[in-house]
Amino acid sequence: MSTAGIATSAERLLCYVIALWSGFFVMAIELLGGRLLAPNFGSSIYVWGAIITVFMLALSLGYLAGGRWSLERPSLQRLSLLLLAAAVTALPVLLFAGEPLERLAIAIPDPRFGSLSAAALLFFVPTFFSGMVSPYCVRLVVDGEATSGRRAGQLFFVSTFGSAAGTILTSFYLVLWFEVNSILLSLMGFSVLLSASGVLAGRRRA
């Protein structure tokens, strides 16, 4: 097995931080998605079923794509660009969550398919890029066959822990303290800062 080229503990730690934050980001966006769709589609089991379906499908395809992309010149910089892409492609959530969703609800009155369409339009792409992060991180942190299982387990742990943290912090606290748009902007802003840190770290090493 060839190594991915992550030599320092600081670079490896940054990979873990990116994986943790990506998990946090996905679950926070998913929960906020329910709040954004509720005014036009309600908050029934149909709506949540549509949201969860879109996120699971996007993540599964992202896992496949991330694994394939990690085979070509894997680097911390390219990993950071995935995080940036997830943040940038989440911007339509801010731009189209108001009147456009109302128009979509009128065009597709069935709350099942209306919410499914809305969730796909708003959340599929950023969730897809977020899904690419974990397998790409695995490629970077695995430094040999002997440690591959341990490294992968650590990566899945921090990513899932981030998802749990994003779920409870968003649902228990953030939505009570801040407006949805403010939370979204903060999430995207932190992703951009973390991505820039990864790019700079990769450039220093190069």
Tokens coding 127 = 């969730």
- By residue range, what is the domain housing residue 176? 9-205
Domain membership of residue 3 (yes or no) is no
CATH code, domain carrying 91:
1.20.1250.20
Do the Cβ atoms of 66 and 129 come closer than 8 Å? no
Asked if residue 103 belongs to a domain, the reply is: yes
Residue 1 domain-assigned (yes or no): no
131, part of any domain: yes
pLDDT tens digits for range 9-63: 778 889 999 999 999 999 999 999 999 998 888 888 999 999 999 999 999 999 9
> How many separate domains does the chain show?
1
User: Is residue 189 one of the residues assigned to a domain?
Assistant: yes
Per-residue pLDDT of 54-100, as tens digits, reads 999 999 999 999 999 988 888 889 999 999 999 999 998 888 877 88
pTM for this prediction: 0.90
